[in-house]
Amino acid sequence: MTLAESHEELLVKTYQPPVNSGRIPSDKKPWITSMDEYNSMYKESLDSPDTFWRKMASELVEFTKPYQQVTSGSLHNGDTQWFVGGELNVSYNCVDRWARDTPDNVAISFEPDAPGGKRTVTFKELLENVCRVAGMFKTLGLKKGDTVAVYMPMIPETAYVLLACTRLGLVHTVVFAGFSATSLADRIKDANASVIVTSDQGLRGGKLIHTKKIVDEAIKLSGDVVKNVIVFERTGASDITYVEGRDVMWGPLFKQQASYIPPVPVGSEDPMFILYTSGSTGKPKGLVHTTAGYLVGAAMTSKYTFDLHIGDVFCCTADIGWITGHTYVVYGPLALGVTSVIFESVPTFPDASRFWQMVDEHKVTQFYTAPTAIRALRRLGDSYINCCDLSTLRIIGTVGEPINPEAWVWYHYVVGDGKAVVVDTYWQSETGSHIITPLPFATPTKPGSATLPMFGIELAILDPADGKELEGNDVTGVLAVKRSWPSMARTIVGDHDRYLSTYMHVYKDVYFTGDGAMRDSDGYYWIKGRVDDVINVSGHRISTAEIESALIVDNNVSESAVIGVEDEITGQAIFAYVTTPKGVVDSEEVKKAMIQTVRKEIGPIATPKRIIIVDELPKTRSGKIIRRVLRKIAAGEEDQLGDLSTLADPSILDVLVKKVRAG
């Protein structure tokens, strides 16, 4: 095998699980080692779901009150429940039982922004820290069912906050600290969060992030929802604003708290957290995840996808502000008593060897990142890897977008030395945990395919035109799930109808993922990307409608149409076609200001890569923008515009093409 194999060759190649890689310690025998085992467990999960999920739940989670029924409700009615009638506490499951059984094992290994400052927190220490944060929440009067917003950097304290919320039955809503004050305010209001936890500042790639300042602005925009702000002293900056009666500094309050506060049992179906994600219309959706099902899903997939064993060091580089950070930085690994590495920085700070230095330093055994990072690091060359000992790695995962076979092969051979298994995991904020993934020591893999369904996931590929299920192999259509699974989101905050119409009623009686997919001749799934108006930039979901609503805030924008364009590093990049009021001159300054508006309204993740000011957008006679035409032109495929019979004014096309080509 060479790294120079052609794309076509890579696409048809199958890799056998490297069971004899020499990297599997004798006390960490893989949980599942053959396709027969996978097949029989998968079959049981569909044929006898009650038996299967009872086994999983008892293996992975402790309940304080047994559940009476494994599951109830239907996808169609959107009233799915799991482990019905049971009670449990998430924080107890992720912290207390390990503080009891393995108190001196490391729970969190922290890699701060500046290299060389590694810090570890044992399970015993984690318990104390989580209890003290829970104590702070109690001091502020928070009670079960209240919502706490979290706007924090990637530091151990963020995990304490989440675990302290679940300890008391508080619902957390984490907002990625790259979102703007406006976005944060929308989420605070929508989730009705009376307390927000933040830091004075954040550090990322050597740059300061003014988290508290952004929170102050967001509170101004969100009326009187927020009663208190807890401020963790990350940098100790002296110039942050302190609002008497509202703001509370973490340090002194934390110290005053008791080192133990008992966990509060909550119902299996009580809400655990709200997480906002972009939809195909403007307003982000506050997905609600509930307690028992989410925890079982997080623990099960962590255990089997990453073959986690006690003593492993798991590193997921996703921010806790995304679902990947919730499930695979915090809840999954800790529910299994495994060390989780929290990484505050970026892959290229101070240089492109940062990930690998970290793997070496923390002796990481499972590493989980996004294709965009792999592509970017691959481009910078292998020399950044040679510095480091990566031989502890057994499993290396990817998530967030399809991984191109070339990047997959590089990851496997250069990062994994051909000995670490690549797991390409497909899932969504809505699914809570992996739904399509290889099992590392059982599933033969194909670069670019997320392979086969996780236990309990019954997939279907549908004809998008009529929703009919396409049976058999070698079919392409849209991806749906035919029955509920424990970790699926239960609703959208305040808008159950939107939940039903977005996911459950697009096609009959199935959960609709919003992704296109192909099932190949071996039954393997290949995700083709979103089929709705959602763009995937560096693995982050952003809705075109949301960016358009942000652009319109700029006085120089009359109308806009945003599309995703293929990008070598970020997967997709944001292109915005804009029309302006009469008299506005097409200049770099005007475009820069528009970009600033988007960054202010949503945050830097939504930054358009290019703004193209045009006289007119291509529309149908009834006034609908024809995005397909804009996509083709942006991709340089103006010779393949397809059927233009609905286009109101075909004469605008030439001008559009010229504008785009002009750069």
Q: Which 8-state DSSP code applies to residue 539?
A: T
Strand, coil or helix: what is 603? coil
Which region among 37-45, 255-263, 522-530, 560-568 touches ligand WTA (by CB under 6 A)? 522-530
The two three-digit tokens of residue 208, written as one number: 């300061």
Residue number, 92 or 328, with CB nearest to ligand WTA: 328
Q: Considering the rule CB under 6 A, would residue 400 count as an interface residue with ligand WTA?
A: yes
Q: Considering the rule CB under 6 A, would residue 424 count as an interface residue with ligand WTA?
A: yes
Q: What angle do CA 81, 193, 274 make, to 5 degrees?
A: 30
Q: Considering the rule CB under 6 A, would residue 172 count as an interface residue with ligand WTA?
A: no
Q: Considering the rule CB under 6 A, would residue 78 count as an interface residue with ligand WTA?
A: no
Q: Considering the rule CB under 6 A, would residue 425 count as an interface residue with ligand WTA?
A: yes
List the helix and strand counts (H, then E) for the chain. 22, 31
Strand 459-462's sheet: what is its strand order? 459-462, 475-481, 511-519, 525-530
Residue number, 222 or 543, with CB nearest to ligand WTA: 543
Q: Considering the rule CB under 6 A, would residue 543 count as an interface residue with ligand WTA?
A: no
Cβ 617 to ligand WTA shortest distance, Å:
26
Phi and psi at 232, nearest 5°, equal -80, 135
* 150 and 175 Cβ atoms separated by less than 8 Å: yes
Cβ 637 to ligand WTA shortest distance, Å:
22
Find tokens 């003014």 and name the residue: 210
Amino acid at 224: D
Q: Considering the rule CB under 6 A, would residue 319 count as an interface residue with ligand WTA?
A: no
Cβ 336 to ligand WTA shortest distance, Å:
19
Cβ 370 to ligand WTA shortest distance, Å:
9
Cβ 373 to ligand WTA shortest distance, Å:
14
Residues contacting ligand WTA: total by CB under 6 A: 23
The two three-digit tokens of residue 21, written as one number: 């890689």
Q: Considering the rule CB under 6 A, would residue 527 count as an interface residue with ligand WTA?
A: yes
Q: Residue 161's beta-bridge partner residues?
A: none
Which region among 210-218, 316-324, 545-553, 558-566 touches ligand WTA (by CB under 6 A)? 316-324
Residue number, 194 or 437, with CB nearest to ligand WTA: 437
Q: Considering the rule CB under 6 A, would residue 203 count as an interface residue with ligand WTA?
A: no
* 200 and 231 Cβ atoms separated by less than 8 Å: yes
Q: Considering the rule CB under 6 A, would residue 449 count as an interface residue with ligand WTA?
A: no
Q: Considering the rule CB under 6 A, would residue 445 count as an interface residue with ligand WTA?
A: no
* 169 and 145 Cβ atoms separated by less than 8 Å: yes
Question: Judging by beta carbons within 10 Å of its beta carbon (0-12, 13-18, 19+), is residue 147 exposed, middle or buried?
Answer: buried
Q: Considering the rule CB under 6 A, would residue 440 count as an interface residue with ligand WTA?
A: no
Q: Considering the rule CB under 6 A, would residue 399 count as an interface residue with ligand WTA?
A: yes
Cβ 513 to ligand WTA shortest distance, Å:
6
Amino acid at 420: A
Residue nearest to ligand WTA (CB): 429
C-alpha dihedral sign at 152, 156, 160, 163: positive
Cis peptide upstream of residue 464 (ω within 30 degrees of 0): no
Among 536, 549, 560, 572, binds ligand WTA (CB under 6 A): 536
Q: What residues from 274 to 303 belong to the interface with ligand WTA (CB under 6 A)?
A: 277
Round to whole Å and give the CA distance between 341 and 333: 10
Cβ 116 to ligand WTA shortest distance, Å:
31
Round to whole Å and give the CA distance between 113 and 115: 6
Which region among 57-65, 198-206, 217-225, 427-435 touches ligand WTA (by CB under 6 A)? 427-435
Q: Considering the rule CB under 6 A, would residue 56 count as an interface residue with ligand WTA?
A: no
Q: Considering the rule CB under 6 A, would residue 315 count as an interface residue with ligand WTA?
A: no
Q: What residues from 250 to 269 belong to the interface with ligand WTA (CB under 6 A)?
A: none
Amino acid at 443: T
Q: Considering the rule CB under 6 A, would residue 514 count as an interface residue with ligand WTA?
A: yes
Among 367, 427, 524, 575, binds ligand WTA (CB under 6 A): 427
Q: What residues from 401 to 420 belong to the interface with ligand WTA (CB under 6 A)?
A: 401-402
Pairing of strands 119-122, 106-111: antiparallel
Amino acid at 617: L
C-alpha dihedral sign at 294, 300, 303, 307: negative
Q: Considering the rule CB under 6 A, would residue 323 count as an interface residue with ligand WTA?
A: yes
Q: Considering the rule CB under 6 A, would residue 541 count as an interface residue with ligand WTA?
A: yes
Q: Considering the rule CB under 6 A, would residue 329 count as an interface residue with ligand WTA?
A: no
Residue number, 166 or 513, with CB nearest to ligand WTA: 513
Q: Considering the rule CB under 6 A, would residue 134 count as an interface residue with ligand WTA?
A: no
Round to whole Å and give the CA distance between 164 and 519: 42
Round to whole Å and give the CA distance between 638 and 652: 13
Nearest to 280 by CA among 36, 46, 544, 89: 544
Give the residues lining the site for ligand WTA (CB under 6 A).
Answer: 277, 322-324, 399-402, 424-429, 450, 513-515, 527, 529-530, 536, 541
